[in-house]
Structure 1
Amino acid sequence: MVDRKSEAGEPALITDPLELAEKEAENALAQFDWGMEELDRWLSAKKPKIRVSTILDLHRIALQEIHRDAGNFRPAGVAIKGSEHEPVTNADVPRFVEEMIEYLDSNWDRKTAIHLSAYVMWRLNWIHPFSDGNGRTSRIFSYMILCAKMETQLPGDNTIPEQVSENKVPYYKALEFADAAYKSNKIDLTEMEELMEDYLANQLVDIHDKATGNRDAIVKRASENERDSDEKRPTKIVGIIESHPVISTAILGLLVVIIGAIVS
């Protein structure tokens, strides 16, 4: 599958490929750190106050000194190389972003953590509100939503955003699946939700395997595209617990929360 990339006609401020890659990596770390700080503020409240400004701040940090529109919605149209999806016009971006946040607010107590994070991952990419950096911003924002809904900052270095960055093919396929469904006036996040489950399981089991040195037992990456049916989705998590009999109580507790996030 061809790599999806925004094409807005606005060149990067840094033209040297190596320098650009270094700055993107530096900004990615800063974006994640800021996102976790904002998550801590959300967790200190009874219910997180999610604002448009949060998304803009995440984008600003990711694109600072890289793009002239860092922290601002795109001023013009944008195409997505490698995708048939046509994003909304720049004039419609603010309205659709507000609607996305309203969806989160109205469904916070009714939908699962997996669903809400999958919805954000897809919807922000569908809107494509920025000239560049849409994927980076959607991935960290989705992760923040997942953690906030689960009422904890998930442990581990092999985070969901990191896993997506390592192999974007399954992520692109899940986006295309949801885009195609929406063309038929349906919201179908099946692919994205299952992908999020895989990533989440990988992240938590990786903690255990790093602690015990059992690297060979790490759960197969979601990039292998092995999917369970809806009826067996919690079984995968249970299998992880059974295959790690000495898994720590803290991680086991989180895995139980995950099962609740999937089936409730």
Structure 2
Amino acid sequence: MSDRESVPEQSAPLPQLSPEERAQLEAENGVRQFDRMMEIIEAGLQGSRFRLRVSTLQNLNREAVQGLEPSAGHVRNHPVSISNTQHQPPEASDVQELLEELCDYVNDHWEEATALHLASYVMWRLNWIHPWGDGNGRTSRVASYLVLCVKTGFVLPGEKTIPEMIADNKSSYYDALDAADASWKQDSLDVSAMESLLEGYLAAQLLSVVAAAGGST
């Protein structure tokens, strides 16, 4: 299955990078984004009451696309489409309010919702809003993992994290996004397919700890 890419409907100046330079910068940004995510997780675990904020999401996106996207971290001010999917992201004028609603949902349901549900909601809803010109998928995956860890109450152990496993094979991830999109079109919030996907990846991540310790899997 082909990756889904943001396709701006109006042009923006982009850095002139060779494919090799771009790949190198993406890799370096990925490390910085992961490190920033871990800093936010640690702060969230130490605080009295975690609250997801739009500024946190923007910060994570900025780390992902710095040097690759002219408006890194800033919400888009232009229409965008996504290749290889039928979903059409909302108008740019609605993005800021939708991001605030996303954070409100997580914060308002923090006590009673499960970690898997909140992480799945963030994963889907950020992709659905598609707030930025680039890096939406990468940002949704680390933001989802951030929420999963803080809500669970600790930094999840494992040699390979959920965002890394999804990045290695996005087919099931795309299917789960499509399932949630289809439900939303019917005025229903249903991220159960994403919850099941994340549950499986979480089990694999934790089992890697058992394997590393020499246990039986």
User: In the alignment, which residue of structure 2 is the partner of 1:175?
Assistant: 177
Equivalent position to 1:194, from 193, 196, 201: 196
CA drift at 1:2: 3.0
Question: Structure 2: how far apart are the matches of 1:105 and 1:203?
Answer: 26
User: In the alignment, which residue of structure 1 is the partner of 2:41?
Assistant: 39
User: In the alignment, which residue of structure 2 is the partner of 1:124?
Assistant: 126
User: Identity, % of aligned pairs?
Assistant: 45
Aligned length: 215
User: In the alignment, which residue of structure 2 is the partner of 1:4?
Assistant: 4
CA drift at 1:185: 0.5
Asked if 2 retains the 8 angstrom alpha-carbon contact of 1:118 and 1:196, the reply is yes
CA drift at 1:50: 1.7
Letter in 2 for 1:183: K
Equivalent position to 1:91, from 90, 93, 100: 93
| Secondary structure of 1:152's aligned partner | coil
Question: Structure 2: how far apart are the matches of 1:49 and 1:84?
Answer: 32
More RCO (CA 8 Å, sep 6+): 2
Question: Structure 2: how far apart are the matches of 1:142 and 1:65?
Answer: 24
Go from structure 1 to structure 2 and tell me whether the alpha carbon gap of 1:201 and 1:14 turns closer, same or farther (over 3 Å shift): farther
CA drift at 1:211: 2.7
Equivalent position to 1:24, from 18, 23, 26: 26
Runs of 4 or more off by more than 3 Å in structure 1? 9-12
Go from structure 1 to structure 2 and tell me whether the alpha carbon gap of 1:199 and 1:40 turns closer, same or farther (over 3 Å shift): same
Matches within 5 A, 1:198-237: 198-212=200-214
CA drift at 1:11: 5.8
Letter in 2 for 1:6: S
Go from structure 1 to structure 2 and tell me whether the alpha carbon gap of 1:28 and 1:14 turns closer, same or farther (over 3 Å shift): farther
User: In the alignment, which residue of structure 2 is the partner of 1:238?
Assistant: none
Question: Structure 2: how far apart are the matches of 1:180 and 1:200?
Answer: 25
| Secondary structure of 1:47's aligned partner | coil
User: In the alignment, which residue of structure 1 is the partner of 2:56?
Assistant: 54
CA drift at 1:15: 2.9
User: In the alignment, which residue of structure 1 is the partner of 2:151?
Assistant: 149
Deviations 1:4-25 (A, max 9, x none): 1110144642431111111101
Letter in 2 for 1:73: V
Question: Structure 1: how far apart are the matches of 2:3 and 2:156?
Answer: 29
Question: Structure 1: how far apart are the matches of 2:18 and 2:187?
Answer: 43
Asked if 2 retains the 8 angstrom alpha-carbon contact of 1:76 and 1:90, the reply is yes
Unaligned runs of 5+ in 2: none
Asked if 2 retains the 8 angstrom alpha-carbon contact of 1:63 and 1:133, the reply is yes
User: In the alignment, which residue of structure 2 is the partner of 1:255?
Assistant: none
The answer to whether the aligner puts 1:101 opposite 2:103 as a matched pair is yes
CA drift at 1:153: 0.7
CA drift at 1:157: 2.5
Asked if 2 retains the 8 angstrom alpha-carbon contact of 1:12 and 1:66, the reply is yes
User: What is the CA RMSD across the aligned residues, in angstroms?
Assistant: 1.2
Question: Structure 1: how far apart are the matches of 2:194 and 2:28?
Answer: 28
The answer to whether the aligner puts 1:76 opposite 2:78 as a matched pair is yes
Asked if 1 retains the 8 angstrom alpha-carbon contact of 2:158 and 2:207, the reply is no
Question: Structure 2: how far apart are the matches of 1:14 and 1:205?
Answer: 43
Asked if 2 retains the 8 angstrom alpha-carbon contact of 1:74 and 1:130, the reply is yes
Equivalent position to 2:67, from 65, 68, 74: 65
